[in-house]
Chains A and B, each alone.
Chain A
């Protein structure tokens, strides 16, 4: 896997030295995905040091959670990872349900899988499109958003909102699916499936794209684990962890009976359940290209899961079940649960004292840990690589600052 000296892009040239410059990238910068501020210490085009500064989007969501009942806090989870709000809803709901030892109906379980996996597709589409934007190509971004819009249309039918859904809630869902929705969802999947090939042509296998991402920002499995990286960032380094398979039982029970292969490179190859483009020979496991590719695979994986859940959901006979009361009393105790969100493992922690309002609420953000590794990845890279690396981590500031 080690590149030869000539090929290595991260060799620093030391004899032609210019003065170091301190550059602020953000918080108002096109490629910092919101209000991230990166302070770069540059030597010409070479970045010798990068320091992320966060806190520009802090809204005290956790503190607010200590003043609201568990269900009332659901809309605040929407605004954490606003690109995958369904997953956030689910994480919090499951955590509360774990505390309550509550189990949702079979139908609600399948519907939850359907909804969150659809949201995973939407989130990865944004991640993918915005990554193209970071690398200077605009069109894939709009291609991705075009498809995401269709998912948002579906969500709008379900819950009336396009971004902040508050659909999955403690004890179930706010409503059942409208009539005919499943057919429309299937129609979307059918027309979306061939379009993925377009993305592969424009990005994944594009020569310039590979040049820009392969061997850039290589994250070793050890370092990924040390920094607490999760999600596609971790799997892009070849660590075979996916909470949908390896998580706590209350979470994995949701995926009971679903067939899916974790999108990770094992024994030198990725899952072969579909026809994926080959890994370019320049790419090193753990580089930006692999992180991106894992997301692309997860889109297909999520499509499979959505198809399976549509089948199961339509076979379920019983009722969906009502969610819990708005001011359901929570038993005294504490609980922590992590779920596999599109960006990584999102954990919710709550301590309760017997009242409906939790005494303490904390969220463990995956983007926070993923972003923390960026100084390591960007040391010695070029300025142009900074958006490439940070973009490949696919962080969302709402989740980091909460």
Chain B
């Protein structure tokens, strides 16, 4: 490489706005991967593209300085997709790579719906005035601590006196409601998924409990057990 070309490329390199570059990169990955989710036939690949899309979104959050939200995105959304992936694997493991064929009419319908939604979102995004100015996105303020404090009822963006006076200043109540709600969901899930079990009789049991258990009760027929299933 001759010196001129090197200098030119160096200066070009300097011209690049790295923040903007990474924003575009992550945004492009997020959008393309999102499209791929819709267009792929294979369930597992769909899940993979979804992970990519959500991961790129997390990257956008990190880029914007919202580290907490970014990590949250990774943990909850990307982690949640894990379960989706597992289901995908479970569904397609037996028959070789089951493909989901979408009829053309469905594609059209989905396209119309998506376009409408996109229009609404774009309109909403452009209507926010402060978003139209540049340089608004870069905030290096720590995000986790105020958020965490606010969730337990202390607003650090207010003065201590204001906190003491206004007990409802934080988000303790919503936080608690959400917590209880999640607990209910957890218990409900555990209830639904609880095992309806039967024993497989094994020789020692039969031998040991031949007096106490009638022969029929130890072996339920599978059909009756299955009818008690959760779904």
Contact = CB atoms under 8 A, between A and B. Distances in A.
Given A2-B205, A222-B207, A14 B225 contact: yes
A219 B203 contact: yes
Q: How many B residues touch the partner, as a band?
A: 20 to 34
B94 A10 contact: no
Contacts of A12: 197-198, 200
Interface stretch (A15-23, A86-94, A127-135, A295-303): A15-23
Interface in B201-224: 202-205, 207-209, 222
Contacts of B197: 5, 11-14
Nearest to A48: B200
B165 interface: no
B103 interface: no
A5 B228 CA distance: 19
Nearest to B194: A15
Given A2-B209, A18-B90, A19-B94, A13 B204 contact: no
A8 B204 contact: no
Interface string A283-323: 01110000000000000000000000000000000000000
B193 interface: yes
Contact of B226 (A14, A19, A219, A380): A14
A129 to B, nearest CB: 28
A364 interface: no
A11 B203 contact: no
A379 interface: yes
Contacts of A223: 203
B229 interface: yes
How many residues of A sit at the interface, in one of the four size bands? 20 to 34
Contact of B204 (A15, A286, A380): A286
B230 interface: yes
B203 A14 contact: no
A2 B203 contact: no
A15 B203 contact: no
A218 interface: yes
Contacts of B229: 14-15
Contacts of A18: 90
B93 to A, nearest CB: 8
B199 interface: yes
Contacts of A14: 195-198, 222, 225-226, 229
Contacts of A218: 202-204
A21 B89 CA distance: 14
Contact of B199 (A11, A21, A284, A285): A11
B204 A1 contact: yes
A106 B199 CA distance: 56
A9 to B, nearest CB: 11
B222 A10 contact: no
Interface string A181-225: 000000000000000000000000000000000000011101100
B204 A5 contact: no
Contacts of A5: 197, 199
A303 to B, nearest CB: 32
A338 B22 CA distance: 79
Contacts of A380: 200
Interface string A347-387: 00000000000000000000000000000100110000000
Contacts of A286: 204
B200 A10 contact: yes
B225 A15 contact: yes
Nearest to A285: B204
Interface in B107-128: none
A218 B200 CA distance: 12
Interface string A3-39: 0010010111111111101000000000000000000
Contacts of A21: 93-94
B230 A15 contact: yes
Given A5-B197, A14-B198, A21-B94, 11 more contacts: A1-B204, A10-B202, A13-B195, A15-B196, A15-B228, A18-B90, A219-B203, A220-B202, A220-B204, A223-B203, A379-B200
8 contacts: A2-B204, A10-B202, A11-B199, A14-B198, A14-B226, A18-B90, A222-B203, A223-B203
8 pairs of A and B residues whose beta carbons are closest in the complex: A220-B203, A380-B200, A15-B229, A13-B195, A19-B94, A14-B225, A15-B196, A11-B197
